[in-house]
């Protein structure tokens, strides 16, 4: 099974009412690291987060010096941004239901509709997929980057291969190992991951060259912002990032790959964005199958679609909740 299909099957298998799942997200601070899968264990404030928006709240809006109590002029909220950048940031935050527009002394201003619920997520687990360990690529370097940086609470390698002692020796000891069967959805935990110190200074590996490795230290506050940004993107994106092509031969899969696009002509899960269309020899134009990916995600996880949004209520003089 190709890595794309393996990834979709794993996402379908681990998603449940206590786990939010997303795929292909940036897991770095200044470097370049794309993690295959992120699994989020919700925190006590997840319902408050779900009530704001079903999309991603922009990090710049969360970090901006503005709260729900008093509106602030845009020039004071984003002093280092050009006017057109301010406008784009505000538009994204308003569309997300996190900012509302007002005016202060005739100038454009914004206010948060509610306080950001920092504790909406608890643990972040990063999962690197490598169905075939005989073709590892830069697996060791990728996993070592995840461990040394420590954005995730835990890191796991998922594979369909038989894991030998030689394989284990090439994998950082902090990394857990799952043997996963994408056909049945069965998962064997061969090694539990070690909990990583997300609240301590991390080391980000930026580049590797023969005889030289470029690194930088990452402060706990930088890591906290990166974790929040990653969690927000995961909440808004999810893992069903595909659209069904207009082909009668592309239908929903079975078992762990339920809702994933299965091509009857190719006999496998396909990536519609790169493999489907009139250029495919098996393509037969027709209507897309009636698959409601939004409803499926809502039924299978803590994510909630199309919330009513949060409205402010005054709790005291100049104080809002």
166-176 pLDDT, tens digit each? 999 999 999 99
Q: What's the pLDDT tens digit per position in 151-208? A: 999 999 999 999 999 999 999 999 999 999 998 999 999 999 999 999 999 999 887 7
Pick the closest to residue 303 from 31, 51, 34 (CA basis).
51
pLDDT of residue 310: 59
Question: What pLDDT, on a 0 to 100 scale, did the predictor assign at position 191?
Answer: 96
* Mean pLDDT for the stretch of residues 17-21: 96
- Sort strands 212-218 and 250-252 into parallel, antiparallel or unpaired: unpaired
Q: Are residue 206 and residue 276 in the same domain, yes or no? A: no
pLDDT at 321 over 70: no
Going 146 to 147 to 150 to 156, the CA torsion angle's sign is positive
In a domain, 245, yes or no: no
Q: Are residues 28 and 108 in the same domain?
A: no
* Residue numbers of the domain that contains 32: 3-42+123-236
- For residue 18, tell me if it sits in a domain: yes
pLDDT of residue 320: 42
Indicate if 65 and 211 belong to the same structural domain: no
Give residue 69's pLDDT: 81
Closest of 6, 52, 104, 48 to residue 236, by C-alpha: 52
Supply the pLDDT for residue 87: 87
What is residue 254's predicted lDDT score, i.e. its pLDDT? 84
Single out the residue of 198, 218, 220, 204 nearest to residue 153, CA to CA: 198
Helix-, strand-, coil-residue percentages of the chain, each rounded to 5: 30, 30, 45
Q: Residue 233 and residue 227: Cα distance in Å, rounded?
A: 10
The predicted structure's pLDDT at residue 319: 47
Q: Is residue 314 part of a domain?
A: no
């Amino acid at each position: 099974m190709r890595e794309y299909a393996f990834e979709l099957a794993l996402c379908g298998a681990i998603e449940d009412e206590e786990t939010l799942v997303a795929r292909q997200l940036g897991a770095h601070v200044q470097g370049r690291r794309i993690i295959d899968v992120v699994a989020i264990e919700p925190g006590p404030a997840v319902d408050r987060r779900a009530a704001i928006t079903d999309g991603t709240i922009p990090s710049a809006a969360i970090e901006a010096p503005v709260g729900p109590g008093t509106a602030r002029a845009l020039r004071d909220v984003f002093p280092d941004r050009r006017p057109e950048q301010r406008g784009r940031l505000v538009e994204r935050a308003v569309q997300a239901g996190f900012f509302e527009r007002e005016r202060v002394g005739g100038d454009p201003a914004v206010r948060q509709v509610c306080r950001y619920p920092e504790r909406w997520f608890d643990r972040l687990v990063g999962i690197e997929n490598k169905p075939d360990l005989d073709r590892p690529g830069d697996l060791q370097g990728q996993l070592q980057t995840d461990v040394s940086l420590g954005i995730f609470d835990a890191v796991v390698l998922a594979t369909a291969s038989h894991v030998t002692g030689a394989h284990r020796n090439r994998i950082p000891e902090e990394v857990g190992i799952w043997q996963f069967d994408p056909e049945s959805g069965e998962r064997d935990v061969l090694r539990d991951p070690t909990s990583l110190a997300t609240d301590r200074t991390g080391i980000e590996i930026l580049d590797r060259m023969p005889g030289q490795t470029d690194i930088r230290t990452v402060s706990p506050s930088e890591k906290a912002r990166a974790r929040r940004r990653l969690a927000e993107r995961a909440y808004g994106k999810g893992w069903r990032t595909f659209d069904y092509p207009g082909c009668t031969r592309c239908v929903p899969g079975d078992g762990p790959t339920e809702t994933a696009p299965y091509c009857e002509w190719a006999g496998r899960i396909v990536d519609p964005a790169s493999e489907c269309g009139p250029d495919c020899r098996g393509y037969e134009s027709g209507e897309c199958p009636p698959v409601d990916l939004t409803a499926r995600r809502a039924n299978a996880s803590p994510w909630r679609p199309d919330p009513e949004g949060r409205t402010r209520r005054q709790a005291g003089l100049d104080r809002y909740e």
